[in-house]
Structure 1
Amino acid sequence: MIYVTETLLYVCFCILTGGQILSLVPEDKRPTIEIPNWLIIVCAAGIALLSFAPVFKIIDFFAKDFGESYWVIGKGVLLDFKMGHAWLYTLFFSCALIFIRVLRGSKKDPFVDILGLIFTLGLIGAFGWASHCASNFAIKGFITHSTHFLAVSVWIGILLVAAWFSKDQQHWQAFFKWFSPVALVCVSITVVAGLILMKFIVPEYLNSWMITYGQTLLIKHVLIIPLLVIAFMNGFLTKRKFVSNPNYDPKPWIRAESIMAILVLSATSVMGQQNPPHELSIENTIKLTQPSSLFTLFNQLPADFMVKIGVNLWSVVLLLLAALLIFTMLFVFVKRQKASMAVICMGLILAVVTYVAVMVSVI
């Protein structure tokens, strides 16, 4: 259940960010977007409620450990713990956002939209302040994590809202003219910030595959591959579609990209509930916890606790199959309009094939 709530938290952030940004985009630069005011309010309330789950986990642990009431322990956690402070900031920004959206109602008000975007940035900052990286690496961890999450929220947020709340076929070409470069910048920032976060949290990336956290991170990375393939389709190949057909409807394909993005967020939510191995070596971590069952399914633990990558027949065959799947996804996109679900299925198969190729390459 905690993984579901964490995924919903990420989705709330994305809808909120995407909705606030698109409300400020001129109407001739996007299709008509009708995102209900109540949904923005629900997302703001959902962020406050769902982000309390890890705080309650700490409160529950100390209450049972010390035999104190939840009220007493709760006050201590909220007032004395960094995560508690971050949640109080989250509650403030959520309530402020709900307040102005209730006053705004269904009427458009650019000032309220700008203010709402500022409060949304505050929520993202509070989320970054509560992260593992900020707790262990202070300001540089906070900046890196917040930048990473902001880029993801902008990219996937605009994508989600445009995919599921657009109401007509107008101005899609104008939309892609500005969204494609924005998405490219966001993806670039996400990759760079993600690599820095990995250096902080998982300094032994290959060795981390032996534990559950590292396996989850690897699964997230292989899921990103089909996401980037579909993003490439929507960002670059769509231009050709509009040249041959100005009334081309890209919604099925950006919906496919949004579904794949949610799967990546789901993997991220699993990671968020596990302890990263940044404080101990992987060898010492395995002594305190069980090795990953997925890793031991493919390989035995190396005696020196050092994972190395080699090339063998199976890994080459599987990587060639992965390349064939990518080519097939691109071919289907170019040749067929209504095959987005087939591309999602091929994307999932691509992720599985890539994962197995990596695991059988371990020596």
Structure 2
Amino acid sequence: MFFVAKVMLYVCFALLMGSFILYSVPRRNRPEIFISKKFILILIALTPLFGIGELVRLTMHLGEDFGYWLTFQNIVLSFEVGKGWLFLTGISILLFFMVLFNDIKEDRFFAGLAVFLIAGMGVSVGYASHAASLESLGFLAHSLHFIAVITWSGVLLVSGYFSKGEGPSLSFYKWFTPLAVACLATVIGAGLWLMNYIVPEYVNSYLLDYGQALLIKHVLLFIIVIYSLINGILLKKRLKQGTTGLALNKWIKTEGIFLFLAFVATALMTQQTPPHDVADTLKMEDPSKLFTFSTGLIPGDNPMLSFSFSMMSLVWLAFAIVLVLSILATIKRNKNMTLAVAASILAASAIYLAIMSSVSL
């Protein structure tokens, strides 16, 4: 239940940020999107409801001895996660009534103000994050990472799934391409910053469920970047040449699928113990079943993973390269979207197996 709530929280944030960014740019510079005010209001109302999941989880964990209601009150008023949720709820209420009483689709000023408020809600998520509890600047790293993710993914998801026609025009790419590049750079930079706090033993973390989810997220990010390059360079170039029948929306939707899968991997991470010290964490929980299944390795008392390329890892890597090239060929020939999705999932799996077959104890 908490896992699903976390995934839906990310989806709500992304759709809201994407909608308001698109409404804040001139109509000629965006695709014609179809998303009703009622749906936007529902998303705003659901955001604090999905955001309360972590508070409920802590309440159920800590409230058995002191009473659940008293524990919940204490968490809301005393814990950073509770204060962050109160801030999130307060901004959500303000945003709800601002959208309710204004034509957000036609008034670019209020749409831009809504973008600012959503960013404030993103800061509240960073304030309540695990990184913020570890380091005073941890909230800044998490906030930057989170806001960049929902900005990049939000515009793509709304453009792909809430618009009609073949896809956006060149005027859209003129502002979105630099925005996407800036978001990607922020995601990578802030992500490395966060890992320094949370996962200082990145390779060793593969032994744990948290590390496996993080690795899968990174593999998905690689696939997403490939789609971004195809959409932002190859298809944009063909659009400049006046090529018809590109079906840009189809490939933006495909990229959106993998952004959603990255949300799922991130939500899985929030349900696991962050591995500040892998050896100590393994004393409290079992190693990842996915790790032991994919590698056949069983960690000892003082595990230390290292990379050593094998023939099998090279085979998987070659298989991944072939699949990535097949993705490119599928999109260039404007084939079925299902083929691209299947090839992308297989490519991600091959990259994961190439990495797992390269580690040793």
TM-score, with length taken from structure 2: 0.95
Q: Which range is displaced more, 239-248 or 113-122?
A: 239-248
Paired with 1:222 and 1:341, the residues of 2 have a C-alpha distance of: 20
- List alignment gaps of at least 5 residues for structure 1: none
How big is the shift at 1:248?
3.7
1:49-108: per-residue Cα shift (whole Å, max 9, x none)? Answer: 001010111122222132x2x332222111111111001001101111111111125762
Paired with 2:91 and 2:323, the residues of 1 have a C-alpha distance of: 44
Cα distance change on mapping 1:356 and 1:47 into 2, 3 Å: same
SS at match of 1:31: coil
Paired with 1:107 and 1:219, the residues of 2 have a C-alpha distance of: 37
CA contact (8 A) 2:23 2:105 kept: no
CA contact (8 A) 2:313 2:358 kept: yes
How big is the shift at 1:192?
1.1
Q: Which range is displaced more, 262-271 or 97-106?
A: 97-106
Paired with 1:217 and 1:83, the residues of 2 have a C-alpha distance of: 22
Q: Percent identity?
A: 36
- List alignment gaps of at least 5 residues for structure 2: none
Tell me the C-alpha RMSD between the 2 structures: 1.6
CA contact (8 A) 1:33 1:165 kept: yes
Paired with 1:320 and 1:253, the residues of 2 have a C-alpha distance of: 24
1:174 aligns with 2:171: yes
Q: How does 1:59-70 map to 2 (within 5 A)?
A: 59-66=59-66, 68=67, 70=68
How big is the shift at 1:167?
2.9
Cα distance change on mapping 1:38 and 1:358 into 2, 3 Å: same
The residue type paired with residue 283 of structure 1 is: A
Paired with 2:78 and 2:167, the residues of 1 have a C-alpha distance of: 52
CA contact (8 A) 2:16 2:40 kept: yes
The residue type paired with residue 279 of structure 2 is: E
Cα distance change on mapping 1:294 and 1:137 into 2, 3 Å: same
SS at match of 2:111: helix
- Where does residue 272 of structure 1 map in the other structure? 270
1:56 aligns with 2:52: no
- Where does residue 25 of structure 2 map in the other structure? 25
Cα distance change on mapping 1:132 and 1:184 into 2, 3 Å: same
SS at match of 1:209: helix
- Where does residue 135 of structure 1 map in the other structure? 133
1:265-319: per-residue Cα shift (whole Å, max 9, x none)? Answer: 11001001212012xx211110111111111112323444100110111011110
Paired with 2:292 and 2:105, the residues of 1 have a C-alpha distance of: 57
1:25-44: per-residue Cα shift (whole Å, max 9, x none)? Answer: 10111121222111211111
How big is the shift at 1:239?
2.1
Q: Which range is displaced more, 8-17 or 164-173?
A: 164-173
Pick the aligned partner of 1:282 from 247, 269, 278: 278
Q: Which range is displaced more, 94-103 or 247-256?
A: 247-256
Cα distance change on mapping 1:252 and 1:170 into 2, 3 Å: closer
How big is the shift at 1:170?
7.5
Paired with 1:51 and 1:228, the residues of 2 have a C-alpha distance of: 28
- Where does residue 332 of structure 1 map in the other structure? 330
CA contact (8 A) 1:33 1:166 kept: yes
1:207-250: per-residue Cα shift (whole Å, max 9, x none)? Answer: 11111111111111112222111111101101232114156431
- Where does residue 124 of structure 2 map in the other structure? 126
1:195 aligns with 2:204: no
The residue type paired with residue 212 of structure 1 is: D
Q: How does 1:87-98 map to 2 (within 5 A)?
A: 87-98=85-96
Paired with 2:97 and 2:323, the residues of 1 have a C-alpha distance of: 48
SS at match of 2:261: helix
The residue type paired with residue 50 of structure 1 is: F
Pick the aligned partner of 2:70 from 66, 69, 72: 72
The residue type paired with residue 195 of structure 2 is: M
CA contact (8 A) 1:32 1:170 kept: no
CA contact (8 A) 2:316 2:351 kept: yes
Pick the aligned partner of 1:252 from 233, 250, 253: 250
How big is the shift at 1:111?
3.2
CA contact (8 A) 1:31 1:169 kept: no
Cα distance change on mapping 1:54 and 1:169 into 2, 3 Å: same
Q: Kindly tell me the number of residue pairs found equivalent between the two proteins.
A: 357
